[in-house]
Amino acid sequence: MAQMNMVQALNSAMDIMLGRDPSVVLMGEDIGYFGGVFRTTEGLQRKYGEHRVLDTPIAEGGIVGAAIGMAVNGLRPVAEIQFADYIYPGFDQIVSELARLRYRSAGDFTAPVTIRTPCGGGIRGGQTHSQSPEAMFTHVSGLKVVMPSNPHDAKGLLITAIEDDDPVIFFEPKRLYNGPFDGDPNKPAVPWSTHPKGEVPEGHYTVPLGRADIVRAGAQLSIITYGTMVYVAQAAAAALELDAEIIDLRSLVPLDVDAICSSVKKTGRCVVAHEATRLSGFGAEIAAIVQEECFWHLEAPIQRAAGWDTPYPHAFEWEYFPGQARLAAAIRAAMEPA
Amino acid sequence: MVRSRLHLPRSPARPGEAPDFSYLELSPAGAVARPQVGARVRDIGPLAVELVRVLDDAGDAVGPWNPHLDAAELQIGLRHMLLTRIFDERMQRNQRAGKITFYVRSLGEEAVSVAQCMALSPRDMLFPSYRNQGLQIARGIPLVNLMCQLLSNTRDPCKGRQLPAMYHSAAGHLFSISGNVATQFPQAVGWAMAAAIKGEDHLAASWLGEGSSAEADFHYALLFAAVYQAPVILNVVNNQWAISTFQGYAGGEQRSFAARGPGYGIAGVRVDGNDFLAVHAVTQWAAERARTGGGPTLIELVTYRAAAHSTSDDPSRYRAKDDAEHWPLGDPIERLKRHLIRLGEWSEERHHALSAELDELVAASWREAVAYGTLNDGPKLDTDLMFEDVFKEMPANLQLQRAMMRAEKSSR
Ligand SMILES: Cc1ncc(C[n+]2csc(CCOP(=O)(O)OP(=O)(O)O)c2C)c(N)n1
């Protein structure tokens, strides 16, 4: 085992896959010589060569389209979109092409592309460096959608994603790159070296898609979440001294419905939390599933804690971010007696 | 390892290597012909690959592109460029001191924004990128307004919603800057199409970096501009670098960026972006062409990004350290200053005095701006503003969320 932050863990996953599989190539803006604006691909071009770790023009539609073509011709591209906020020029290639190629060609053409992209706020990035657009992709049939919350999972999930024969959109909550974050910007930053999930095996291993992680087992309430909110949820439940069960979904498509439902059937109370805007957010899907599957077990309405339905405002970052206070309000409402 | 036949553009000088600008194709000052404003695109192809220059090495204005500006106008240009540079230096320091969260300098590229703005009329609509602060300054936007935007404070024209440097001014006819590169290009074309539909005289101009010209939006803009012969000036600021990526990765290795214009049926002009007179002259040419029904022009401004990409960037990781000092086209402020001195219209003493005056102007503006608040202290923007302007009228979900946000704040 080694101590790694999330950037190092992701780097290690790509390093291993470039080493094991000659068809793996990396591509993206500033990822080659420079190693990426978050340094996630640092050293990989030097190690594997310029034709396997490609700097690309600033054209997300071109990156995704070219990745599809390369994949169809036998490569296994891992494309970086510098910020999730810049994925939209590539949206058509992702939605209309990447997602549906297998279906429309009856399996004769497939494109095993992984698209990595940093998401989420909390870094004073304003509206174009803070978005969490995962629900736009879970809504598209044919895409797998992943969001790890710690270095250990990040590496195992990224290896799984690269080895997967279907396209995967891999969201990296950038506020978690260097350490867990409980939503309080005034506390000193905590590095991954102090957290058990900062222990990462150096070699190849996988974390399966569609398997949630029960971060904390509990009896009183289920908090279903992913990404940065995993830590906010833990802190909020602890502050309220509740015996909450906290579930880190890790992958949204495929979704671990069993883990969600067995938890809610046990606790009878459910809060769903994500950083993305609330309206049509992935939380709505979870709430619908819980309602369908666990209705007779519910003691109170399902609650959602999410980002407000506005663009991410630079000056009001911490009033926008769904921090512990927002979680606490949702938890209290979910704990109302039946 | 298999030998790959994939061509990979070579960057000229990485850290530890000697600066190398041998790839740059230059024309001598005064050497490029100045066609009639109404010339047909097919007859002016060379303009897109040669380099229009007016100021020679001695600092004299030579050749057919000399715009013959009077000394007073040149002095104003020098003042705007110097103010832009001093503003940048000061804001960079304020970012380093933690007063603002992010900043982007335009060091070495000041002639682009300033000369182009001065060659256009005040009612022309400008669609800038994040590195065009010289447009804001040359358009006379008060420094305090710009600083309040950088500070996201109570007088911020964006009401705290935008990252620093993403200015706008409806009164100044300066469009709202987007953090997503290249989006403004087709929008400028649309604005110009509307001007043509309405029979108005104003034109639109837009700017992006050569790196951003890779985006599809750039190509949409050129196509629409060509199809409708829109009165628009589209500017590619080729400062050689897009963060860590050399211009070869945007397609500049095979052909100039200006040459994309003729490919679409648009006049293309390649100009020395650090030559105030040349930039002014080609912009004036393009503006006259647009206003007289000659349609769009694509201008490539050849310049150098002398500073980091932004305050989040460290160029010593990817390019030769003293690259900027070896840039063959020099510094735009120094070059205009030398020209004015040769004309007998400027001196080191006057330059010094101007510098000191502008220093004080920036300092005084900053003192005023911070009185309206910073992110950390002083008066604060009302957090309710977060929910306004999502729509014209606030829908029920936002009203509810605003109430929840207020409750959250009082619970903290
Ligand atoms: C759609 C989109 N993709 C990526 C980015 C990230 N990004 C911001 S600036 C930049 C480099 C732009 O370089 P260039 O266009 O040459 O302009 P310069 O910064 O050199 O002035 C990149 C990649 C972005 N802002 N928007």
Q: A62 CB less than 6 Å from ligand 1? A: no
Cβ–Cβ gap A308/B250 under 8 Å? no
User: Around Cβ A11, how many Cβ atoms within 10 Å?
Assistant: 22
At A190, which CATH number? 3.40.50.970
Q: What is the pLDDT of residue A338?
A: 72
Rounded CA-CA distance B401/B395 in Å is 10
Asked if A115 and A151 sit in the same domain, the reply is: yes
Mean pLDDT for B26-49 is 97
The answer to whether position A207 is within a domain reads no
> Which pLDDT tens digit goes with each residue over A76-86?
999 999 999 99
Query: What's the pLDDT tens digit per position in B163-182?
Result: 999 999 999 999 999 999 99
Mutate to test the pocket of ligand 1, among B102, B178, B181 (most ligand atoms within 8 A of CB): B181
Residues in CB range of A113: below 8 A, 6 or more apart? A64, A67, A68, A71, A76, A77, A78, A79, A98, A167, A168
CB A63 within 8 A of CB A81: yes
pLDDT score recorded for residue B12: 87
Q: Considering only alpha carbons, which residue of chain B is nearest residue A313?
A: B161
CB pairs < 8 Å spanning A and B: 136
Three-state DSSP string of chain B: CCCCCCCCCCCCCCCCCCCCCCCCCCCCCCCCCCCCCCCCHHHCHHHHCCCECCECCCCCECCCCCCCCCHHHHHHHHHHHHHHHHHHHHHHHHHHCCCCCCCCCCCCCHHHHHHHHHHCCCCCEEECCCCCHHHHHHCCCCHHHHHHHHHCCCCCCCCCCCCCCCCCECCCCECCCCCCCCCHHHHHHHHHHHHHHCCCCCCEEEEEECCHHHCHHHHHHHHHHHHHCCCEEEEEEECCEECCEEHHHHCCCCCCCCCHHHHHCCEEEEEECCCHHHHHHHHHHHHHHHHCCCCCEEEEEECCCCCCCCCCCCHHHCCCCCHHHHCCCCCHHHHHHHHHHHCCCCCHHHHHHHHHHHHHHHHHHHHHHHHCCCCCCCCCCCHHHHHCCCCCCCCHHHHHHHHHHHHHHHHC
Q: Which residues of B touch A309 (CB under 8 A)?
A: 390, 397-398, 401
Flag whether pLDDT at B343 surpasses 60.
yes
**A218 and A193 both lie in a single domain:** no
Inside any domain, residue A205? no
Q: What are phi and psi of A199, to 5 degrees?
A: -85, 115
- Residue whose Cα lies nearest atom 7 of ligand 1: it is B181
CB of B109 within 6 A of ligand 1: the answer is: no
Contact B213, B249 (CB under 8 A): no
Is residue B273 within 8 A of residue B290, CB to CB? The reply is no
Same domain, A85 and A59: yes
Chain A: nearest CA to B304, how far in angstroms? Answer: 18
Secondary element (H or E) of residue A213: strand A213-216
With a 6 Å cutoff on the Cβ, whether B242 touches ligand 1 is yes
All residues of chain B having their beta carbon less than 8 Å from the beta carbon of residue A89 are 180, 215-217
Do A231 and A141 fall into the same domain? Answer: no
* Residue A295 falls inside a structural domain: yes
Do A114 and A27 fall within a single domain?
yes
Per-chain mean pLDDT for chain B: 97
Q: Is B216 on the interface with A (CB under 8 A)?
A: yes
Domain boundary among A166, A200, A234: A200
A274 in catalytic set: no
Contact A58 B381 (CB under 8 A): no
Q: Are residues A134 and A227 in the same domain?
A: no
Ligand 1 atom nearest to CA at B179: 25
Question: Do both A222 and A181 map to the same domain?
Answer: no
Q: Which among A184, A317, A185 is positioned nearest to B160, based on CA atoms?
A: A317
Give which of B245, B377, B399, B400 to mutate to test A binding, by max A Cβ within 10 Å. Answer: B245
Q: Angle formed by the axes of helices A6-20 and A151-163, to 10°? A: 30
- Cβ atoms of B237 and B270 within 8 Å: the answer is no
B229, B267 contact by CB (below 8 A): no
Q: Which one-letter amino acid corresponds to residue B373?
A: G
Using CA atoms, how far residue B40 sits from A164, B286, B295, B367, in Å, is 54, 13, 10, 53
Q: How many domains does chain A have?
A: 2
Task: Measure the CA–CA gap between B267 and A320, rounded to whole angstroms.
Answer: 47
Q: B251 at the A interface (CB within 8 A)?
A: yes
Q: CB A129 to CB B217 under 8 A?
A: no
A86 lines ligand 1 (CB under 6 A): yes
Q: Can you list the domains of chain B with their CATH numbers? A: 41-381 (3.40.50.970), 382-412 (no CATH)
CB contact under 8 Å between B390 and A56, yes or no, is no
Q: From the candidates A51, A129, A139, A297, which is the catalytic residue?
A: A129
Q: Which residues of A touch B250 (CB under 8 A)?
A: 57-58
Beta strands A244-248 and A221-225, pairing class:
parallel
Give me the phi and psi of B169, to 5 degrees please. -155, 105
**pLDDT given for residue B2 in this prediction:** 58
Q: From A149, A176, A200, give the residue that closes a domain.
A: A200
In a domain, A262, yes or no: yes
> CA triplet B167, B168, B174: central angle to 5 degrees?
125
Alpha helices in A183-281 (DSSP H): 229-239, 257-267
Bridge partners (DSSP) listed for residue A248: A213, A225
* Chain B environment of A313 (Cβ under 8 Å): 160-161, 386
Which tokens hold the place of B244?
């860590």
pLDDT beyond 80 at B3: no
Residue B162 near residue A122 (C-beta atoms within 8 A): no
Chain B: nearest CA to A314, how far in angstroms? 5
CB contact under 8 A, B386 and A313: yes
Q: Could you give the CA distance from residue B275 to residue B114 in angstroms, rounded to a whole number?
A: 11
From chain B, the residues in CB contact with A276 under 8 A are none
B214 and chain A: CB distance < 8 Å anywhere?
Answer: yes
Q: What's the first-to-final CA gap in chain A, in angstroms?
A: 47
Q: What is the pLDDT of residue B1?
A: 53
Show the tokens assigned to A133: 């657009």
Q: Are residues A131 and A172 in the same domain?
A: yes
- Ligand 1 centroid – CA B225 distance (Å): 23
Beta bridge partners of A144: A168
A137 Cβ contact list (under 8 Å, min separation 6): A94, A143, A145, A169, A253
Position B4 pLDDT exceeds 90: no
DSSP-based three-state secondary structure for A2: strand
Set of chain B residues whose Cβ sits within 8 Å of the Cβ of A332: none
Give CA–CA dist A160/A166, Å, rounded.
11
Q: Residue A252 gets which letter from DSSP?
A: E
Distance (Å) from the C-alpha of residue A259 to the closest C-alpha of chain B? 30
Q: Determine contact, residues A217/A259, Cβ cutoff 8 Å.
A: no
A126 lies in the same domain as A184: yes
Which stretches of chain A drop beneath a pLDDT of 70? none
Q: Do B102 and A124 touch (CB under 8 A)?
A: yes
In Å, how far are A320, B303, B384, B393 from B396, measured between CA atoms? 18, 50, 14, 10
Same domain, A217 and A244: yes
How does DSSP classify residue A78? E
pLDDT tens digits for range A7-34: 999 999 999 999 999 999 999 999 999 9
Quick one: tokens of B336? 């205009």
Q: Which residue among B166, B250, B387 sits closest to A57, beta carbon to beta carbon?
A: B250
Going from the Cα of A30 to the center of ligand 1, the distance in angstroms, rounded, reads: 10
The yes-or-no verdict on residue B7 having pLDDT over 60 is yes
Same domain (yes/no): A19, A165: yes
pTM score, whole prediction: 0.97
Tell whether A294 is covered by a domain: yes
For residues A125 and A274, membership in a common domain is answered with no
CATH code (residue A274): 3.40.50.920
Q: Which residue among A58, A315, A326 places its CB closest to the CB of B152?
A: A315
Residue-range definition of the domain harbouring residue A156:
2-200
Encoded tokens for B316: 């010593």
Domain boundary residue, one of A150, A173, A200? A200
Q: Round to whole Å and give the CA distance between B409 and B382.
A: 12
